[in-house]
Amino acid sequence: MDFEYLEHTADVKFRAYGSTWENVFRNAAKAMLEVMTDTSILKEEKEIRLKANASTLDELVVAWLSEILFQSETKEIIFKEAKPEKIWEENRKWYVKGTAIGQKMNKNMKFKTEIKAVTYHELEAKEKNGKKYCQVIVDI
């Protein structure tokens, strides 16, 4: 299982899993993008470089997903997927770099839900029993 949606009264809550933090972040992006649209019908026409940093791994999850939303809105691209290439810690700060690929937005696209923001509420990025996961709530 790459990700699962969890019950939440007003917003969308999900948990993403992976054997590496890169896999977790990729699956978190997948979960978020699927809230917005059916990514399986999107074309791979445009690629954008992404990077983010934060003080903690938890905060890096929010920074990564927020960067995806920011680039989508400012470049008017709806992303099919976002792939982190590298996640690392250096001098007590966390970094991620990667790419997102998708297509230009147009009037014929069908959107499911607009995401306003990625929140810090109930945010987690943990390793438990050798398995990595993050939990995120997005404001819709």
Q: What is the CATH number of the domain that holds 22?
A: 3.55.10.10
Per-residue pLDDT tens, the chain, 140 aa: give them: 799 999 988 899 999 999 999 999 999 999 999 999 999 999 999 999 999 999 999 999 999 999 999 999 999 999 999 999 999 999 999 999 999 999 999 888 888 999 999 999 999 999 988 899 999 999 99
- Residues 114 and 69: their CA atoms lie apart, in Å, by 10
Query: What pLDDT, on a 0 to 100 scale, did the predictor assign at position 130?
Result: 86
Query: What pLDDT, on a 0 to 100 scale, did the predictor assign at position 132?
Result: 97
Q: Residue 110 is which amino acid?
A: K
Query: What pLDDT, on a 0 to 100 scale, did the predictor assign at position 110?
Result: 82
% helix, strand, coil for the chain, step of 5: 25, 45, 30
Q: CA distances (Å), 28 to each of 60, 92, 107, 108, 134, in order?
A: 12, 23, 27, 26, 7
Number of domains, the chain: 1
Q: Which residues, listed in sequence order, are joined to residue 46 by a DSSP beta bridge?
A: 102
Residue range(s) defining the domain that contains residue 102: 3-139
